[in-house]
Amino acid sequence: MPLTDDNIDDKAKIWREFIVSGRIPDNTLRPEIYSSWQRCREANIDPYDGVSHELLTEEEIGELLQARKTQIDIIRHFMGNLYDLVKGSGFILFFADERGYIMEILGDPDTLSDAEKVNLIRGACWIEEAAGTNGIGTALTLGKPFQVSGQEHFCQKLHSWTCSAAPFFSETGDLIGVLQMSGPSHTAHQHTLGMVAASAEAIHEQMRVQHRNRELSVLNGQLNNIFQTISDGAIIVNKQRKITQINPSAKKLFGDNIIGSTVEDLLGKDTNISKIVREGKACKEMEVMLDTSFGRLHALVTVKQFLDQTGAFGEEVIFFNPINKMKKLANHLGGARATFTFDSLIGQSDKLNRTVNAAKQAALSNSHVVIQGESGTGKELLAQAIHNLSSRKNGPFLALNCAALPRDLIASELFGYVPGAFTGASSKGRPGRFEMASGGTLFLDEIGDMPLDQQASLLRVIQEMKIIRVGGEQVIPVDARIICATNKNLLREVDKGNFRQDLYYRLNVIQVHVPPLREREDDIRILFTHFLDKIGGKLNCKIQKVEADVLNKLQNYNWPGNVRELENVVEKMINAANCKIITTDHLPVEITSPQPEKIFQTSHLHMEKNRGKTLKQRVAVNERRIILELLQQYQGNISQIARIMEVSRNTLYRKINQYGISKDYRFD
């Protein structure tokens, strides 16, 4: 029959029978005790000993206690509460870690003295394999509260003890340790186990709360770090609409003395943001103008609400995102930056060097620049080089081709537009090039083709450095240096009424002239070599050789498309040569057979007008006209004109003197 306190002699008899034979009558032991005895027998535990011989040193105990100080402090607290209930009754409390090593002991002095006799001391290991069936070891094995009393202990020296033990677990379910209350075996009672189990559960719950508090503390620290380090300005507003916290970015905008003031004090009573906060609402990326310590600031403002546990309004966070910062990011990701420098300019001719020197001087100034030159000469490349040498080099570089946009879209591209400004407009609106280029350079290519009505708007912006988006009313300050480019004579366009005179004088502060390629004869060979390497590398095609006559033909050509045309011709030749030898057969026909048709067609008209003159007179008149037209077309390049007329330079100079052509080569 099952063991009870009323049949202690039977318990001792059953224990002796098991120790001798390893067998007992059925249903005489609790299954957990019987299984534990079997484990002890298999582990060769000495049933007549019962003293733990696995002991930690004081140094090892100290290290363990220090490593688990936070947990130990909680456990000590609940051990103290439990001991207060049983003080003087002969009970003793133990805390052992998950490996069964006793870490803490609390109890009556007499009982503590008895416990020392069987090594129930700090640092002793009380797993079943070390001390047989016992409260600590068996509870750890079973993973649940358990009581071992009297002869239920496998070792005889423990038969005078009753042990009630309960394991406890961490927040994640990991076994942390076990709490045990021990005393004389005759005092055994199931309520004792209940008290220990309740204390173990309380320890677990307290550790869970501490873990959550620690998580919240870490989370709060992380959130505070985010709040303090985000680049947007941020302020926290309490239920009374007063500012309670402010991050460093907001301090830069508003100063650090705004804590305690209201949103209305900061932003004004009648502003949209103050109204939103006052009504306890939220908003996302509202575009506003703010008065800050730096003056007026164009920003996007977001208001987020935090509700308390009842669902009522708690606090609000207001984020201020300066639009200039967003523009920098958009420009960076969108490629709105200059990549070319003066080192990117290829050539060493005197005319190019004069252009480069003038452009470098322009880079040292913040005044507007007009770059004049034929198509294909590299005006944008020069504009980027000026930007990259200027004080605005860290700002954006945005380009707009005034001739490539429909008339109706130029204003929206330059100045931006508000939501719904016109059919097809974005529902969010969009900033224009002037806003996006603020702090940097705006390059207006083909400025001579801008419509007159838009020229007036451009003039106003240049004068005031403020824009109003299409369809909007808000005035937005801008700060962009303007570099213009044109292949037209702007002053002549002014005379024709195609370009505003006041705009011309606003823009044409510094003028840089880019020479056409025909005036840079010495640079043709250099550019050809450069493009041969560059394009050959891109196409993975290395040319083995270039015939000498190829370069002669290139240098004798007029290059109406300038450097852009030369680059195109080189790419054609590389593809045609199939990575072998470039010959004159690979040259385009316009280079191998130049025909100044326009010149001679014009001369034919003059011959018709002079039909009544002698042949010698007619030839002289027309030859003079041909030379004059060639001098004008090729800007006085004597070598080029002599090649076209197939005469020597000396012969050409003689004819110029013969026909009385002035040295500045202007028409009479």
Counting every residue written for the chain, the total comes to 668
Reference 435, options 406, 413, 403; nearest CA is 413
Can you tell me the distance from the alpha carbon of 364 to that of 551, in angstroms, rounded to the nearest whole number?
38
Can you tell me the distance from the alpha carbon of 602 to that of 619, in angstroms, rounded to the nearest whole number?
14
Average pLDDT, the chain: 84
Domain membership of residue 289 (yes or no) is: yes
- 552 and 508 in a common domain: no
Query: Residue 525's pLDDT is what?
Result: 92
- 626 and 587 in a common domain: no
| Domain that includes residue 275, residue range | 230-323
**Contact criterion met (CB below 8 Å) for 370 and 445:** no
DSSP 493-552: HHHHTSS-HHHHHHHTTEEEEPPPGGG-HHHHHHHHHHHHHHHHHHTT----EE-HHHHH
For residue 329, give every residue at least 6 positions away whose Cβ sits within 8 Å of its Cβ, in sequence order, or none. none
Q: For residue 13, what are its two tokens? A: 């008899």
Reference 167, options 206, 200, 130; nearest CA is 200
312: pLDDT confidence band, cut at 50, 70 and 90?
low
| Domain boundary residue, one of 592, 621, 643 | 592
CATH code, domain with 581: 1.10.8.60
Domain membership of residue 86 (yes or no) is: yes
333: pLDDT confidence band, cut at 50, 70 and 90?
very low
Checking if the pLDDT of 667 tops 60, the result is no
Q: For residue 25, what are its two tokens? A: 């009558």
Reference 449, options 513, 505, 405; nearest CA is 405
- 654 and 559 in a common domain: no
Reference 266, options 320, 326, 322, 325; nearest CA is 320
Convert the pLDDT of each residue in 448-461 to its tens digit: 998 888 899 899 99
563: pLDDT confidence band, cut at 50, 70 and 90?
very high
| Domain boundary residue, one of 545, 560, 592 | 592
Domain membership of residue 622 (yes or no) is: yes
Convert the pLDDT of each residue in 193-205 to its tens digit: 999 999 999 988 8
Checking if the pLDDT of 71 tops 70, the result is yes
Q: How far is CA 64 from CA 53, 61, 69, 71, 604, in A?
A: 19, 5, 8, 11, 111
Q: How many CB atoms lie under 10 A from the CB of residue 566?
A: 21
Checking if the pLDDT of 231 tops 80, the result is no
Domain membership of residue 216 (yes or no) is: no
Query: Residue 387's pLDDT is what?
Result: 95
Q: Percent helix, strand, coil in the chain (nearest 5)? A: 50, 20, 30
Strand partners, 397: 441
Range picked from 25-34, 130-139, 311-320 for highest mean pLDDT: 130-139
- 270 and 182 in a common domain: no
Query: Residue 515's pLDDT is what?
Result: 94
Burial of 148 (0-12, 13-18, 19+ CB in 10 A): buried
Mean pLDDT over 51-56 rounds to: 87
Can you tell me the distance from the alpha carbon of 96 to that of 105, in angstroms, rounded to the nearest whole number?
9
Secondary structure of residue 417 in the 3-state scheme: strand
Listed in sequence order, the DSSP H helices in 370-427 are: 379-389, 410-415
Can you tell me the distance from the alpha carbon of 481 to that of 443, in angstroms, rounded to the nearest whole number?
8
- 47 and 10 in a common domain: yes
Checking if the pLDDT of 506 tops 60, the result is yes
Domain membership of residue 496 (yes or no) is: yes
242: pLDDT confidence band, cut at 50, 70 and 90?
confident
CATH code, domain with 240: 3.30.450.20
- 643 and 562 in a common domain: no
Query: Residue 185's pLDDT is what?
Result: 87
| Domain boundary residue, one of 462, 486, 513 | 513
Convert the pLDDT of each residue in 359-370 to its tens digit: 999 999 999 999
Q: What domain count does the chain have?
A: 5
7: pLDDT confidence band, cut at 50, 70 and 90?
low
- 113 and 163 in a common domain: yes
- 456 and 579 in a common domain: no
Query: Residue 234's pLDDT is what?
Result: 86
- 478 and 359 in a common domain: yes
Can you tell me the distance from the alpha carbon of 623 to that of 625, in angstroms, rounded to the nearest whole number?
5
- 528 and 447 in a common domain: no
Q: How many CB atoms lie under 10 A from the CB of residue 657?
A: 10
Checking if the pLDDT of 136 tops 90, the result is yes
Q: For residue 334, what are its two tokens? A: 């969108």
Query: Residue 556's pLDDT is what?
Result: 87
| 668 or 113, greater pLDDT | 113
Among 156-165, 338-347, 418-427, 557-566, name the one with the lowest average pLDDT.
418-427
| 644 or 369, greater pLDDT | 369
Query: Residue 311's pLDDT is what?
Result: 62
Q: How far is CA 284 from CA 255, 388, 431, 615, in A?
A: 24, 36, 18, 86
Checking if the pLDDT of 606 tops 50, the result is no
**Contact criterion met (CB below 8 Å) for 179 and 220:** no
CATH code, domain with 436: 3.40.50.300
599: pLDDT confidence band, cut at 50, 70 and 90?
very low
Reference 445, options 415, 497, 487, 387; nearest CA is 487
**Contact criterion met (CB below 8 Å) for 323 and 476:** no
Domain membership of residue 666 (yes or no) is: no
337: pLDDT confidence band, cut at 50, 70 and 90?
confident
Convert the pLDDT of each residue in 248-286 to its tens digit: 888 888 877 888 888 787 777 767 777 777 777 778 777
- 243 and 354 in a common domain: no
In the chain, pLDDT over 90 holds for what percent of residues?
A: 36
- 502 and 559 in a common domain: no
Mean pLDDT over 595-602 rounds to: 44
Among 47-61, 275-289, 354-368, name the one with the lowest average pLDDT.
275-289
Domain membership of residue 179 (yes or no) is: yes
Domain membership of residue 306 (yes or no) is: yes
Checking if the pLDDT of 470 tops 70, the result is yes
